[in-house]
Amino acid sequence: MILKESFRMQNHLRELANSAMLYLSDNQNVMKIKQEHLRSKSNPKAADETIERKRESDMTADNVIELYLDILNEREKLSKAIGRAKAGADIDMDAAIAINKEKQGAISRFKEIYRLKSSETIGQGKDFMINAEGNQTPYIYNIRSVNTIDFDRNALKGIVKRLQRESDEVSSRIDLLNVTLEVDYTPKYEVEDSFEDAYEKLFGKA
């Protein structure tokens, strides 16, 4: 399978494992529940009755645990196969993706900075003075704020273009590897399999 398909399979195996754990998290699926209705102790004419709760599914806890471990084993095999495939690529894909993510974040911030403009605003401040009578009185005065860009706009524009070009080139290489790089793994389960399908593949009809 190609790398893109292996990632999809990896996600599906994770979902199957989560479904197994969800099944095992329900105590009703891992315990037998028996109720003894001891009516005769209170009413000698009444008959005692024992009721065992029947599970909605015939899947057993032991089998689900075994299925989970099998899925976990498949995930490990697939992860190792993906690692070997990536190691054979002409670039370090994980590092390239991480750096590209950083570049995209920088591009976004640099564009925000690039759009800034110099500006001037008038606001008001308040202070106190001593008047002719010797009393402290407040007075209002104007505050002129001058905001001037303190960076090379043309240089920043060039940096954004360069980072975007480099990011696009790496993205194209990653996209190509995702559809051409072969992963040496034969799937035991299919991405279309539900949790019940996976159980049936391992143990037969549930």
CB 36 within 8 A of CB 53: no
Give the list of residues 6+ apart from residue 131 with CB closer than 8 angstroms, or none.
137
Does residue 149 carry a pLDDT above 80? yes
The pLDDT, as a whole number, for residue 204 is 84
| Span 128-146, pLDDT tens digits | 999 888 899 999 999 999 9
**CA 68, CA 193: separation in Å to the nearest integer?**
14
Q: What is the predicted pLDDT for the residue at 48?
A: 87
- pLDDT of res. 8: 97
- What is the tens place of the pLDDT at every residue in 33-49? 888 888 888 998 899 88
Average pLDDT over residues 185-200: 95
Q: Is pLDDT of 86 > 90? A: yes
- Band of residue 93 on the pLDDT scale cut at 50, 70, 90: very high
Determine the pLDDT at residue 110.
97
**Per-chain mean pLDDT for the chain:** 94
Tokens of 176: 């190509």
Under 8 Å CB-to-CB from 93, ≥6 apart: which residues?
86, 174, 177
In this predicted model, what pLDDT tens digit does every residue of 157-187 receive, in sequence order? 999 999 999 999 999 999 999 999 999 999 9
Look at residue 129 in the predicted model and tell me its pLDDT.
93
pTM recorded for the entire structure? 0.75
pLDDT reading at 100 higher than 80: yes
pLDDT of residue 17: 97
* pLDDT over threshold 80, residue 205: no
pLDDT of residue 52: 83
- Whether residue 17 contacts residue 189, with contact meaning beta carbons closer than 8 Å, is answered with no
DSSP the chain: -BHHHHHHHHHHHHHHHHHHHHHHHSHHHHS--EEEE-GGGT-TTSPPEEEEPPPSS---HHHHHHHHHHHHHHHHHHHHHHHHHHHTSSS-HHHHHHHHHHHHHHHHHHHHHHT---EEEEEEEEEEEE-TTS-EEEEEEEEEEEE---S-HHHHHHHHHHHHHHHHHHHHHHHHHHHH-B-----SS-TT--HHHHHHHHHS--
Q: Is 124 a residue whose pLDDT tops 90?
A: yes
* 132: its two tokens: 């002719």
Cα dihedral 64, 68, 73, 78, rounded to 10, equals 120
